[in-house]
Amino acid sequence: MSPPPAVWVSGLRKAYASHLALAGVDLAIPEGEFFGLLGPNGAGKSTLINILAGMVHRSSGRAEIFGFDVERDFRRSRQMLGVVPQELAYDPFFTVREFLRLQSGYFGLRHNDDWIDELMAELDLADKADANLRSLSGGMKRRVLIAQALVHRPPVVVLDEPTAGVDVELRQGLWRFMRRYNQEGHTVILTTHYLEEAEELCSRIGILQRGRLIALDAKDHLLARFTWRVLTVTFDKDPGPLPETLAGFLSGAGENTLVLRLDQSRHSLGAVLTALQDLPAQILDLHVQEPDLEDAFTDILGNMGLEQP
């Protein structure tokens, strides 16, 4: 019998009086995956995370962490999960080390100082170990919340917008640490509005919208669906009007520069360049922009008749 996935939800629904937050989500995340959960504000991401963490009761369906039901086996499932929340929630009466020791105690860990020291060193908190939490900057408090989520070494970590409003140094340091944590076999689930982060870190992407999972695929497959490429061409002088065969591709223009949007499934780049070479101006530079995850994300929402926030 194969081991259960790290996270498994089936037919998961959450209904409030005013709206349906989750409308029957099915999702399996295997152990060791770095998974990206994307979607506009209000798509249902936080509701799904809060159900997994046992903070919100589902209306129907199933949700499990390594086979432990998040409601019936709350203690076991919660032991398996660490969540870095969006909000800066902390206890102002403790130092950083005291706070992390207290969090360790919630999970029955009495002698956890070696791991706490490692976390503080990795997150650049070592020199703040004895500082009171209320004296820390917003970025430092964010680091403490990350350490709090990892203090019991959970096999599944949910990062809910972990780098929102933080400096570049923390962002880069966090991703280095989380890559290593993932490479050691832990499962990481990331929600973020910085789509370049998801593109760099995640191997598979799920997109939620209005409580439904509208896309779920490997990152490379999602990008392959998007066949448009943007060609920027700079000339030595004004190239004049485009020939009729290229006029429909024009998406922008600047001083001696044309921007063309091409569908590679229908338009040959070689034929386009040949036509451009016939213009009364010499090509000085050209650049082809490949699609990124933001392009694919916007395209998927657009095809659903939805708008990106």
What distance lies between CA 308 and its chain's CA centroid?
15
Task: Kindly report the average pLDDT of the chain as a whole number.
Answer: 86
> Taking CA 154 as the corner, what is the angle to CA 152 and CA 158, rounded to the nearest 5 degrees?
120
Q: What is the pLDDT of residues 69-127, one digit of tens each?
A: 999 999 999 999 999 887 766 677 889 999 999 999 988 888 899 999 999 998 889 99
Lowest mean pLDDT among 84-88, 214-218, 251-255: 84-88
Q: What are the structure tokens assigned to 187, written together?
A: 């499962």
Q: Domain 1-80+189-226+292-309 has what CATH class?
A: alpha beta
Pick the CATH number of 227-290 from 3.10.50, 1.10.1760, 3.30.70, 1.10.405: 3.30.70
Digit-coded pLDDT (tens) for 254-268: 888 988 887 776 767
**pTM metric for this prediction:** 0.78
DSSP 8-state symbol, 290? P
With cut-offs at 50, 70 and 90, classify the pLDDT of residue 130.
very high
Model confidence at 308: pLDDT above 50: no
pLDDT tier at 214 (50, 70, 90 boundaries)? confident
**What integer pLDDT is reported at residue 90 of this predicted model?**
65
Share of the chain above pLDDT 70, in %: 92
Among 58-67, 106-115, 217-226, the range scoring the smallest mean pLDDT is: 217-226
Q: Can you give the length of the chain in residues?
A: 309
Domain ranges across the chain: 1-80+189-226+292-309, 227-290
Most confident of 15-29, 216-230, 251-265: 15-29
Those residues with Cβ within 8 angstroms of residue 117's Cβ, 6 or more apart along the chain or in another chain: 126
Compute φ and ψ for 247, nearest 5 degrees: -60, -35
For residue 1, pLDDT over 70 is answered with no
In contact, 10 and 61? CB cutoff 8 Å: yes
**Residues 160-185, mean pLDDT to the nearest whole number:** 83
Torsional sign, CA 295, 296, 298, 302:
positive
Q: Which pair of structure tokens corresponds to residue 5? A: 């996935």
One-letter amino acid of 194: Y
When computed from its CA atoms, the radius of gyration of the chain, rounded to whole angstroms, is: 24
What pLDDT band is residue 302 in, cutting at 50, 70 and 90?
Answer: low
In this predicted structure, what is the pLDDT of residue 157?
A: 95
Structural tokens at position 255: 């001083």
